[in-house]
Amino acid sequence: MQRILIVDDHAHIVRVMANALKRAGYDVTCASNGAQAFELFSEQPFDMLISDMEMPLLNGRQLVEQIHEQSWAPFVLLISGRIDSQLTQWAESVERVEFHMKPVSLSRLTELVQQRFAGTP
């Protein structure tokens, strides 16, 4: 079973996304900030990371950079409510990282996860 880590500092968003992906058959773990997510990754790497961009302690980009420094290569969906052209360009330049704007519907989120695990764009 594929393992997904969801990171967002808004507990209700994490809960809703986690429930949808669990119903779709994924093993989901949740974190409330980037530092907690990195700690969870260091204990047992995940197949996919779904992360908010703006969080306390460690933002989404910093989290991805630290994960990649450890040679872990999960597929990453970064989600933000703010358009940032530098962030978008950075995400496009990093292998296995995608940037998506909030809101992302639960059906679209599930579809993105299924497509990435199937190896389709």
Query: In the prediction, which pLDDT does 83 show?
Result: 75
Q: Do residues 51 and 78 touch, judged by C-beta distance below 8 A?
A: yes
Give dist(CA 110, CA 24) in Å, integer: 7
Is the CA virtual torsion 54, 97, 70, 25 positive or negative? positive
- Answer whether residue 120 shows pLDDT above 80: no
Q: Is the pLDDT of residue 98 over 80?
A: yes
pLDDT for the residue numbered 121: 64
User: Average pLDDT over the chain, rounded to whole?
Assistant: 91
Domain boundaries along the sequence of the chain: 3-118
Query: For the ranges 21-35, 54-68, 99-113, which has the lowest average pLDDT?
Result: 54-68
* Matching CATH number, 3-118, of 3.90.230.10, 3.30.460.80, 3.40.50.2300, 3.50.30.20: 3.40.50.2300
Residue 106 has pLDDT above 90, yes or no: yes
